[in-house]
Amino acid sequence: MPRRVESSETSSDPEAAPFESALARLEAIVAELESGELDLEVSLARFEEGVALSRHCAEQLAEARQRIDVLVEEDGELLERPFEPEGEGEDGC
């Protein structure tokens, strides 16, 4: 039988959570949804919370990526270059 979860078990503001906490909560939501033990109403609420957390985490990762600089040595001098993961070219692929 589906179980109802009290509102005290839910996060009130996903956008305020630090990345690690948001990711941990998102993983917990996925486990709850995969269990199949939640009723439809609670499942929809968890799904909506999960979407908000996912967006929040993606935004934080994008901000972190922008802040990463790579120090490159050229001719004995250290230069800062924007971080570009291997395989990503000018077109972002």
How far apart CA 79 and CA 71 sit, in angstroms, is 5
Six-digit token string for 26? 């998102």
Take residue 22 and report the two structure tokens written for it: 């948001």
pTM, two decimal places: 0.61
Domain ranges of the chain: 13-82
The tens digit of pLDDT for each residue in 18-68 reads: 999 999 999 999 999 999 999 999 999 999 999 999 999 999 998 888 777
The pLDDT of residue 79 is 77
Task: Answer whether CATH 1.10.10 is correct for domain 13-82.
Answer: no
Instruction: Give the pLDDT score at 72.
Output: 72
- Would you place residue 78 in the very low, low, confident or very high pLDDT band (cuts 50, 70, 90)? confident
